[in-house]
Amino acid sequence: MKITNPAQIRNFVVAGHNGCGKTTLCDLMLFKAGAVDRLGSVDAKTSVSDFTPDEQDKRSSIYASFMHCDWKDHKLFLTDTPGYGEFVGEVISSFRSCGFAVIVLDGVDGIQIGTTRAWAFSRDFLLPRMFFVNRLDRERASFDTILEHLQEAYGKTVCVPMTLPVGKEGSFSKVISVLDTPDSEIPADLKDAVEEYRTMLKDAAAESDEALMERYLEGEELTGEEIAKGLHKAIFSGSLVPVFAGSTAKDIGVTELMDGVVSLMPNPLERVRKAEDGTEIVPAEDGPAAAYVFKSALDPFIGQMAYLRVLTGKIACNTDMLNLSKGTKERVGQLVLLQGKNQIPVEEVCPGCIVGVAKLKGTTTGDTLGATKDNHAMPRQVYPKPVISFALYATKSGDEDKIIQGLQRLSECDPTLYIERNDETHESLLKGMGEQHINIAIKNLKATAKVDVRLELPKIAYRETIQGRGEAAYRHKKQSGGHGQFAEVHLRMEPFEGGYEFVNAIVGGAIPKNFIPAVEKGIHEAMERGPLAGCVVENMRVTVFDGKYHEVDSSEMAFKIATRRAFKDAMAKSRPALLEPIMNIKVMIPDAFTGDVNGALNHKRGRILGMSMQDGLQVLEAEVPEAEIQKFATELRSMTQGQGSYEVDFARYETVPPNVMNDIISKFHDDSEEDE
C-alpha cells in the first residue's frame, strides 16, 4: 500500500472534555468506514482506540491513539485524545501533528474545561475547528442550549450549525442538513431555524471572498460549490466553526460529520508551517521529504516506536534520512500505519500522514527528519511544567539506579514526566501533571523495569538564615592518650544579601594562616546542614576575628570542629530564621468555583495577586508557600469536580512565620531523634 495523494487526506485530532464520547466517535467512524469488522466499544473493552489494559480498566483514554480509514475517496487520519487534564502532554503532541480539530461536547454538560482547553490549543496551534455536540440522546440534552453557549463564548456568527437534531432526548431520531436537506423534508418546527442558519452560512461563505461578497450583495444566488468553497475558506481562517449535532451511541449525525470533514475541512497541503529558523515550509507532494517526530512510545513488545507526521514530500520505507535536529544520519526501515494497537505496513507515505517507525537509532521526540540537508528542522514542542512532585524511595534497597533509569526511559516518551534530583533535600523526585499521571507512570515502571517503589511527599527545601548580628567563641579541647586536640575560634556573623561571604580578620597570627582554610571548611560544613532544621544556610557574612592555637595539639580537624560549634552558637545569637520556597500559582476554573478556590488559597497562607477572565475561565493568580500546595492537584480536583487546572512556578524564598517555623523545627528534631 502507498498513500500518495495529500489533497485527499484529512488529518484531525478529536479533543474535548472527558467522557463526552471522543473514543466512541472514533470507533464508530472506523466501523462506518469499513476499517473494522466489528464496532469497538469503550464499555465492552473492545475499543480500537482505548486498547491498553489501563484504559480498559478505567473505561477512559490515557494515551493519544492513532487510526485511519477511507471515507468517500478520502483518507482520514484520526487521533483520539484523552479528556483528563493530567494527560495534557498527549493532547499537545496530537494537536502538533494534526491539521484540524474536531471538538466534541456533551449534549447535557456543554462547554467544560476540556472544551475550553481544546479551543485554546486549536488557537495556539492554528488549527481550524469543528464542533460535534454529542450524546444528544440523553435526558436533558439540548442542542439549542449548547449552541447558545457556544455562540456566547466564541461568537454568534462564528459557531453556526451545519446540522440540526430532529426530536429530543430519547426520541432524537436523525439530523437534517441546514444547507442540503430539501425544504419538503424539513420538519415544520425547524423551518425558521434552518432559514436563519442558511443565511448565516451563506453570509459566512460570501464574507470569505470579495468577489463572492459583491455578487451576494447584489442579490445573486451563490452556487452550492461557491458556498462550499467560501465555507472552507471561512473555516480555514477561523471566522467560522461549523457545529454538528449527533449521538454516537445511536449512530446519528456521524455520517454528516464525516461528510463535513471531507467537504469543509482543509487538506495537509493547505497549511504552511514555520521551521525553527523561520523558513516557511510549504508542503508539496514531491521534492525532498521532511517529517516531524511528535511522539515516541516504549512498547514492551516492539521496543521504541517513533511517531512521525509527514510535513512535505514522500517517504518510502527503507530510506536513509538525516536527523536535522541532531545533525546525524538515520535509517528509516519499515513504515506502519496505526489502527490503535495494530500496525499495518505501508510502502510510501505523503504529507499529512501519521506513521510509526520502529527502531530508529538516534532520533527522539521533537526531532525533524529530512531527505536532504536543505530541509529545515522544525521547532521543538514546549510542554507545560509539572504541577505535582513525589519523592521516590526504592522498596528494595539496591534498586535505586534501576528505578531512575526506568523512569528516565519513560520520561523520554512522556514530555510531561520529569525525574529530578534535589541536592538540598537529597531526594529523587518524580514530577508530573497529577496523581493519576504519576500512578500510571509508576505502573509502567513496574511493568517495564520490574522494580517496586514507594512515593512520599517530597521534603520542602527550606533554607536557614539570620536576621541580625551575633558573635560566639568556641574552644575545642580534648586530652586523650597521646597528644590532644586544641582550637579556639571566634566568629561574627551578619546578614548578607549576596549569598555568602567569608572574611578573615585575624591579626597577629591568633590563628595561624595554615589553619584558616580549615576554619572556612568548618563554616561550609555547618552551612550545608544548618542548626535549625538541617537545611542549607544562606545570606550571611561570616568573619573570623580571633582565636587561639597550640603548637602541638592544634590540627585542621580541631579547627573545623571548633568552627562548627562557634557557628552554631553565633547563629543562635543572630536572630535565626527559616526561609521557604514561595510559588507563583495560576489557577484556571469556571467562575462558579472562584469563591471556594479563593478561600482555599487564603487558608494556605496564599496572597491573591489578581483575577482575570481568559477563554471563558476565571484565572486566579497567587503566591503560595510550596509546603501548602503539595496536595493541591487532588484538592482542586475535588473542589471543582475536575473542572480546574493550574500551573506553578518557583518565585522566591521568603521568611517562614514564627509559629510555622516552630512546628518545622520541632518536627525536624523529633524526626532526627527517631533516626538516632
Ligand X SMILES: Nc1nc2c(ncn2[C@@H]2O[C@H](COP(=O)(O)OP(=O)(O)OP(=O)(O)O)[C@@H](O)[C@H]2O)c(=O)[nH]1
* The three three-digit cell numbers of residue 315, written as one number: 517517504
Phi-psi region of 34 (alpha: psi -120 to 50; beta: other; left: phi over 0): left
In the complex, least distance from residue 141 CB atom to ligand X, rounded to whole angstroms: 8
Stretch that binds ligand X, among 130-138, 320-328, 448-456, 543-551 (CB under 6 A): 130-138
SS3 content of the chain, % helix, strand, coil (to 5): 35, 30, 35
Of 248, 304, 640, 645, which one interacts with ligand X (CB under 6 A)? 248
- 369-to-77, 115, 309, 314, 332 alpha-carbon distances in Å: 21, 33, 10, 12, 9
248 binds, among Mg ion, ligand X, none (CB under 5 to 8 A by kind): ligand X
Pairing of strands 617-625, 540-548: unpaired
Stretch that binds ligand X, among 132-140, 163-171, 267-275, 589-597 (CB under 6 A): 132-140
Return the number of the residue (22 or 233) whose C-beta is nearest Mg ion: 22
Q: How far apart are CA 287 and CA 311, in angstroms?
A: 11
* Residues 543, 521: Cα–Cα separation, whole Å: 13
Q: Report the DSSP beta bridge partners of residue 8.
A: none
Nearer to ligand X, 20 or 440 (CB): 20
Contact range with Mg ion by CB under 5 A, out of 61-69, 327-335, 364-372, 431-439: 61-69
Strand order of the sheet with strand 540-548? Answer: 470-478, 485-495, 540-548, 500-504
- Interatomic CA distance for residues 564 and 525, integer angstroms: 7
Task: Give the nearer residue to ligand X in terms of CB position, either 167 or 495.
Answer: 167
Q: Which of 8, 11, 23, 93 binds Mg ion (CB under 5 A)?
A: 23
Contacted entry of Mg ion, ligand X, none for residue 249, CB cut-off 5 to 8 Å set by kind:
ligand X
Taking the CA atoms of residue 29, residue 33, residue 39 and residue 45 in that order, the dihedral angle to the nearest 10 degrees is: -50
39 binds ligand X (CB under 6 A): no
DSSP class of residue 178 equals T
Residue window 543-582: x/- pattern of binding to Mg ion, with contact defined by CB under 5 A: ----------------------------------------
Q: Which of 8, 61, 363, 428 binds ligand X (CB under 6 A)?
A: 61
43 binds, among Mg ion, ligand X, none (CB under 5 to 8 A by kind): ligand X
Contact (Cβ atoms closer than 8 angstroms) between residue 119 and residue 154: yes
Residue 20 interacting entry, from ligand X, Mg ion, none, C-beta within 5 to 8 Å by type: ligand X
CB 298, CB 409: distance < 8 Å: yes
Q: Which of 6, 19, 340, 386 binds ligand X (CB under 6 A)?
A: 19
E runs forming strands in 194-341:
241-245, 273-274, 280-281, 290-299, 303-312, 315-316, 319-323, 328-332, 335-339
| Residue placing its CB nearer to ligand X in the complex, 8 or 142 | 142
Please compute, for residue 423, the number of CA atoms within 13 A of its CA located in the half-sphere on the CB side: 1
Contact 190, 162 (CB under 8 A): no
Closest-CA residue to 262 (of 613, 601, 10, 549): 10
Closest by alpha carbon to 84, among 553, 645, 552?
A: 645
**Segment lying near Mg ion (by CB under 5 A), choices 16-24, 332-340, 503-511, 556-564:** 16-24
Nearer to Mg ion, 95 or 154 (CB): 95
Tell me the sheet residues that pair with 242: 160
Q: Which stretch binds ligand X (CB under 6 A): 1-9, 13-21, 363-371, 536-544?
A: 13-21
Nearest to 319 by CA among 351, 291, 338, 354: 291
Choices 18-26, 203-211, 257-265, 481-489 (CB under 5 A): range interacting with Mg ion: 18-26
Our CB check for ligand X shows the closer of 22 and 74 to be 22
- Give CA–CA dist 178/156, Å, rounded: 17
Pick from 39, 190, 249, 619: which binds ligand X (CB under 6 A)?
A: 249
Which of 30, 42, 64, 305 forms a contact with ligand X (CB under 6 A)?
42
**Coil/strand/helix, residue 270:** helix
Q: Which CB, 43 or 674, lies closer to ligand X?
A: 43
Residue 134 binding partner per list Mg ion, ligand X, none, with a CB distance cut-off of 5 to 8 Å that depends on partner kind: ligand X
From the list 12-20, 202-210, 566-574, 621-629, the region that binds ligand X by CB under 6 A is: 12-20
In the bound state with ligand X, the residue whose beta carbon lies nearer, of 32 and 604, is 32
The stretch near ligand X (CB under 6 A) out of 202-210, 243-251, 437-445, 616-624 is 243-251
- How far is 38 from 330, CA to CA, in rounded Å? 38
Shortest Cβ distance from residue 93 to ligand X (Å)? 16
Per CB under 6 A, which of residues 82..101 are in contact with ligand X?
Answer: 82-83
DSSP symbol at 379:
P
From residue 347 to residue 386, what is the string marking binding to ligand X with x (rule CB under 6 A)? ----------------------------------------
Q: Is the dihedral of CA 230, 235, 237, 241 positive or negative?
A: positive
* 202 contacts 218 by C-beta, under 8 angstroms: no
Interface segment toward ligand X; rule CB under 6 A; list 173-181, 247-255, 398-406, 486-494: 247-255
CA–CA dist 243, 240 (Å, integer): 9
Residues binding ligand X: number (CB under 6 A): 20
Contact range with Mg ion by CB under 5 A, out of 33-41, 53-61, 291-299, 371-379: 53-61
How many residues make up the chain in this entry? 676
Residues 134-163 that bind ligand X (CB under 6 A): 134-135, 137-138
Minimum distance from residue 225 beta carbon to ligand X (Å): 33
When binding is defined by CB under 5 A, the residue of 8, 11, 61, 304 that contacts Mg ion is: 61
Residue 79 interacting entry, from Mg ion, ligand X, none, C-beta within 5 to 8 Å by type: none
Q: Give the residue among 249, 286, 285, 311 at the shortest CA–CA distance from 104.
A: 249
Q: Where on the chain is the footprint of ligand X (CB under 6 A)?
A: 18-24, 42-43, 60-61, 82-83, 134-135, 137-138, 247-249
Q: Where on the chain is the footprint of Mg ion (CB under 5 A)?
A: 22-23, 61
